């Protein structure tokens, strides 16, 4: 397939009066189905808000993560809005909008824990981690003894029950957890300075579409729409 057989350009989107958005639909709180079966989530609402500013209808096309980005090249959709991290490898093959959400590695402890105030304090302590994750590598580098888990929820439970002293995990997952369970006695002891940004991804060589999406993102941040969506799902501003 040549570069000319790309997914929709801005002209195509405006002509069709639709923005086709690739999304998982199984990744709460970003893109998932609520109890009534409706597709909802932070990324879904961002997609709807962007499409509205473009003056077109959002059409969500669900697919598994493994094939989601490749679907752009197959013209299944015009954009993917699904927590796609900005990497050099992806930038070589696709175009990205400005970042619309950032996450950081955070050190989570049980409330009242005064022994762990920084990543350095993990030395010799037990840290509940998914062993293959980057977060596990951070904990290991700090000198922690790793306690293997299946993911965020299990890691938090081990911290709450005292079977682990801490977990290094994702700031967005922590904010989501605290939004669902505000009284859970866990807190962030420290966060890494370096943040990972996610953006809307489109097919390569679509500068007009990228510019239009960036304009839409700027508008929803300026008029308070972004802040409303951010507070709804995370109880915080997740743009920086």
Give the DSSP letter string of 143-205: TPEEEE-SSHHHHHHHHHTTSSSEEEEEHHHHHHHHHH-TT-SEEEEEEEEEEEEEEEEEESS
What is the average pLDDT value for the chain, to the nearest integer? 94
pLDDT at 15: 95
Which helix (H) or strand (E) is 211 found in, with range?
A: helix 207-222
Q: Which residues contact 93 (CB under 8 A, 6 or more apart)?
A: 204
Task: List, in sequence order, every residue forming a beta bridge with 169; answer none if it has no partner.
Answer: 106
* CB-neighbour burial class of residue 224 (10 A; exposed 0-12, middle 13-18, buried 19+): exposed
- Is-contact 54 212, C-beta < 8 A? yes
| More confident: 63 or 3 | 63
Q: 10-102+197-234 adopts what CATH topology?
A: D-Maltodextrin-Binding Protein; domain 2 (3.40.190)
Task: Describe the crossing of helices 42-54 and 225-234 by its angle, rounded to 10 degrees.
Answer: 170
What are the structure tokens assigned to 222, written together?
A: 């300026």
**Cα–Cα distance, 21 to 78 (Å, whole number):** 6
What are the structure tokens assigned to 34, written together?
A: 């609520």
User: Of all residues in the chain, what percent carry a pLDDT higher than 90?
Assistant: 91
pLDDT at 240: 87
Delimiting residues of CATH 3.40.190.10 domain(s) in the chain: 10-102+197-234, 103-194
Average pLDDT estimate for 202-230: 97
Peptide bond just before 29 cis, omega within 30 deg: yes
Q: What is the pLDDT of residues 116-168, one digit of tens each?
A: 999 999 999 999 999 888 899 999 999 999 999 998 999 999 999 999 999 99
- Other C-beta atoms closer than 10 Å to the C-beta of 220 total 20
221 Cα distance to chain centroid? 17
Average pLDDT estimate for 70-94: 93
Helix (H, G, I), strand (E, B) or coil at 192: strand
**Cα–Cα distance, 222 to 197 (Å, whole number):** 19
89-to-85, 95, 191, 217 alpha-carbon distances in Å: 11, 11, 26, 24
CATH 3.30.200.20 corresponds to the domain 103-194? no
pLDDT at 132: 82
In angstroms and rounded to an integer, the radius of gyration of the C-alpha atoms of the chain is 19
């Amino acid at each position: 397939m040549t570069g000319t057989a790309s997914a929709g350009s801005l002209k195509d989107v405006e002509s069709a009066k639709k923005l086709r958005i690739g999304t998982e639909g199984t990744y709460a709180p970003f893109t998932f189905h609520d109890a009534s079966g409706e597709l909802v989530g932070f990324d879904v609402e961002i997609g709807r808000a962007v499409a509205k500013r473009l003056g077109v209808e959002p059409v969500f096309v669900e697919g598994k993560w493994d094939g989601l980005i490749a679907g752009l090249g197959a013209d299944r959709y015009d954009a993917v809005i699904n927590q796609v991290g900005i990497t050099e490898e992806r930038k070589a093959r696709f175009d990205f909008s400005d970042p619309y959400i950032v996450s950081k590695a955070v050190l989570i402890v049980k409330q009242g824990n005064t022994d762990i105030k920084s990543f350095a304090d993990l030395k010799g302590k037990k840290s509940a981690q998914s062993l293959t994750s980057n977060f596990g590598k951070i904990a290991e580098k700090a000198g922690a003894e790793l306690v293997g888990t299946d993911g965020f929820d299990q890691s938090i439970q081990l911290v709450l029950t005292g079977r682990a002293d801490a977990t290094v995990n994702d700031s967005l997952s922590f904010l989501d957890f605290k939004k669902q369970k505000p009284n859970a006695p866990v807190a962030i002891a420290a966060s890494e300075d370096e943040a990972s940004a996610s953006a809307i991804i489109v097919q390569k060589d679509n500068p007009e579409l990228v510019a239009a999406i960036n304009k839409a993102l700027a508008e929803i941040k300026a008029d308070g729409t972004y802040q409303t969506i951010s507070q709804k799902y995370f109880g915080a501003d997740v743009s920086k």
